[in-house]
Amino acid sequence: MKKWYSLIISLPTENANERMRAWRALKAAGAAVLRDGVYLMPDRPACRQCLEGVAADVVSAGGIAYVIRLEEPDATNFISLFDRNAEYAVLLEEVCKARNGVSDRSAPQIIKQTRKLRKSFTSLTEIDFFGSEAQKQTQAALQELELALARLLSPDEPSQLDGKIKRLQLKNFQGKTWATRQRPWVDRLACAWLIKRFIDSKASFLWLDSPKKCPAKALGFDFDGAAFSHVGAKVTFEVMLASFGLETPALQRMGHLVHFLDVGGMQPPEASGIECVLAGLRDSIPDDDRFIKAAFGIFDGLLKTFSKEVIPHGAS
């Protein structure tokens, strides 16, 4: 059973300034609101210190305040009150806009912006008490932005994304056999589409009933030990984008969609519909080759839509 600290406060109605001061302090500290005048934070020394500090200020202002330790009732889920996904979504959008605008001309301004974004991210993680997939996703995007700036300012310096993802040449990956687990789902489907449309137009696919049966000459993807798989917070589709320098705004947006449907995080607005359509295709088409061909049409349509919606850098 989880334990928490709760702050209960009451201030005279006419003392609006003190009420607002307390509310701002609690919001900045990441406290959740249970009801008017009742706030909640995890059972941690720093959280207790914060609540006790606000309580002391309320009492000094002529109000009433209690800090109590409580156990979470079985029928509740207080952790959900600390969901920061919406805040990460706003931050991630700003990071992506900055990343798409990186150029020789814009670098000085984006460097300043990136420092502010890093500061905002750090502040947000301090009140993201339980961690989240959204935090990992935003961290990865911010690292990409910082790396893009470093590459621009120091082009002669060798660099690798997170020290793990190497930039690869498309010419070395033509006419290959690509292997992954059979009955593919979103990440594997999207990877197969990306391979066929942007990496290796002559690719053939091998569907494995066990990753251990992957032929030595085949390029495996999306399983442990494969040539392409998850790296850090990135799913395999995002790793392939980074590996082959395919991080256009439209494909990055597809990457966010694939990321959510594969491991969670921030939910794009079209996620539920795409998941429903792909699930229907998978249930109705037992043959994997026919299944991916049908799924390719979905991804083709998404790319076309996302490409239209992306505003080119510099456009008004």
Q: Which CATH number goes with the domain that contains 54?
A: 3.30.70.240
Structure tokens at 117: 């974004």
Q: What is the pTM of this model?
A: 0.70
Rounded Cα–Cα distance for residues 85 and 87 (Å): 5
- pLDDT at position 37: 92
Domain co-membership, 149 together with 273: no
When pLDDT is averaged across residues 127-156 and rounded to a whole number, the result is 85
Residue 70 predicted with pLDDT over 70? yes
72 vs 85, residue with greater confidence? 85
d(CA 109, CA 105): 9
What pLDDT, on the 0 to 100 scale, is given for residue 162?
A: 52
Does position 314 have pLDDT exceeding 80, yes or no?
A: no
Pair (304, 201) in one structural domain: yes
SS3 309: helix
Give me the number of domains the chain comprises.
3
**Are both 278 and 200 inside the same structural domain?**
yes
Flag whether pLDDT at 151 surpasses 90.
Answer: no
The 10s digit of each residue's pLDDT in 194-227 is: 999 999 999 999 999 999 999 999 999 999 889 9
- Please report the pLDDT score of residue 233 as a whole number: 83
214-233 per-residue burial string, b: 16 or more CB within 10 A, e: under 16: beeebbbbbbeebebbbbeb
pLDDT of residue 315 exceeding 70: no
pLDDT, residue 161, reads 44
* pLDDT over threshold 90, residue 13: no
Average pLDDT over residues 117-143: 92
What is residue 91's predicted lDDT score, i.e. its pLDDT?
Answer: 96
Full residue range of the structural domain in which residue 146 is found: 83-153
Q: Is the pLDDT of residue 158 over 90?
A: no
User: By mean pLDDT, which of 13-27, 36-50, 179-193, 274-288 is the weakest?
Assistant: 13-27
Pair 182, 262 in one domain: yes
Same domain, yes or no, for 176 and 274?
yes
Counting Cβ atoms within 10 Å, is residue 304 exposed (0-12), middle (13-18) or buried (19+)? exposed
**What would you report as the CA-atom Rg of the chain, rounded to the nearest whole angstrom?**
24
The pLDDT of 35-62, averaged and rounded, is: 94
Q: Residues 186, 270: one domain?
A: yes
Q: Decide if pLDDT at 316 tops 90.
A: no
Q: What is the pLDDT of residues 241-287, one digit of tens each?
A: 999 999 999 999 999 999 999 887 888 999 999 999 999 999 999 99
DSSP character string of 110-177: HHHHHHHHHHHHHHHHHT-TT--HHHHHHHHHHHHHHHHHHHHH-TTS---BTTTB----GGGGSS-E
d(CA 118, CA 54): 28
In this predicted structure, the answer to whether residue 157 has a pLDDT above a threshold of 90 is no
CA 286, chain centre distance (Å): 32
Indicate whether 44 pLDDT > 90.
yes
pLDDT number for residue 215: 95
Same domain, 175 and 194: yes
Q: Quick one: 35 and 103 in the same domain? A: no
Residues 135 and 236 in one domain: no
With respect to residue 248, please indicate whether it lies within any of the assigned structural domains: yes
Three-class DSSP category at 191: helix
One domain for residues 137 and 17: no
Residues 6+ apart with CB under 8 A from 126: 30
Quick one: 75 and 108 in the same domain? no
pLDDT of residue 72: 83
Choose one of 48, 81, 114: the last residue of a domain.
81
For the chain, give the mean pLDDT: 90
Q: What are phi and psi of 182, to 5 degrees?
A: -70, 165
